[in-house]
Amino acid sequence: MKAGLAATKMVAHVAKIRELYGTEYQELFEERQNLASQLQQAKDAAETLLTERQTAEVDAVRARSTLEGIEPHRAEAERRRDHSLRLLGRLVDERLATLPDDLPADESGRPANLTAGLSWAYRLLAGKPSGPERLNTLVQNRNRALVALENSVRTASAALARFNRQVVLVTVEDTEWRRAIIAEPDATRGDDLDLALQALHASIAQLEEDLRGRWSNRP
């Protein structure tokens, strides 16, 4: 009974105020309702932003953890990339290969940059086995080629023995490559076989030219 009476008095009081203030009261009431609605929307938006921020922080922690986890692999990949590029340069330095003319080179003839190195590497591997077994296949091919080279070196050394010369295979520093040199028996150093052959061909050409000159000058 008391609650019903209080509610009745409140309704009557509101009706009295509306009667006294009319439109002005109604506008204030609606404005209050609108502000209350906007306030609630702002609270909801703030709660949503807080949830999103917390989610973003968790994602950021996970991302940092992932980056920290892959950092050693990234560093190792960069080290291997740089090492491979240096080896391509060594091919030029050791006169084991020549960079194609259409690829940019530095003053020493090495690949000028990583892009040039990659392009050359793709060409060198063209026609070679691909896929996960590539490395094993290339190593097997290299080993077979090395055995054949060693056999050829022994044959050449036997033929050169009467000239007190022999062909020796030496390992190129910091690589698994081999270089053939021609030297005296038991010598620790010798001449690069390729350069020696070039010099020999030049001497033969010069000798032939001298002989032709002598024959042409005969009366």
* DSSP helix/strand/coil, 80: helix
Read off the pLDDT of residues 161-216 as tens digits, 9 standing for 90 and up.
888 888 888 888 888 888 888 877 776 677 766 776 677 677 777 777 766 766 66
Do residues 196 and 182 make contact, with C-beta atoms less than 8 angstroms apart?
A: yes
Amino acid 89: pLDDT:
92
User: Full-prediction pTM beyond 0.75?
Assistant: no
Domain ranges in the chain? Answer: 1-30, 84-127, 136-219
Residue 115 has pLDDT above 90, yes or no: yes
Residue 70 has pLDDT above 60, yes or no: yes
> What are the two backbone dihedrals, phi and then psi, of residue 191, each rounded to the nearest 5 degrees?
-95, 140
Long-range contacts of 120-126 (CB under 8 A, 24+ apart): 120/88, 121/84, 121/88, 124/97
Read off the pLDDT of residues 10-28 as tens digits, 9 standing for 90 and up.
767 667 666 666 566 677 7
Read off the pLDDT of residues 73-103 as tens digits, 9 standing for 90 and up.
999 999 999 998 999 999 898 888 899 999 9
Taking only Cα atoms into account, the Rg of the chain, rounded to an integer number of angstroms, comes to 44
Average pLDDT of the chain to the nearest whole number: 82
> Distance (Å, rounded) from C-alpha 166 to C-alpha 5?
126
- Comparing CA positions, the residue from 162, 160, 180, 158 lying closest to residue 171 is 180
> Distance (Å, rounded) from C-alpha 49 to C-alpha 33?
24
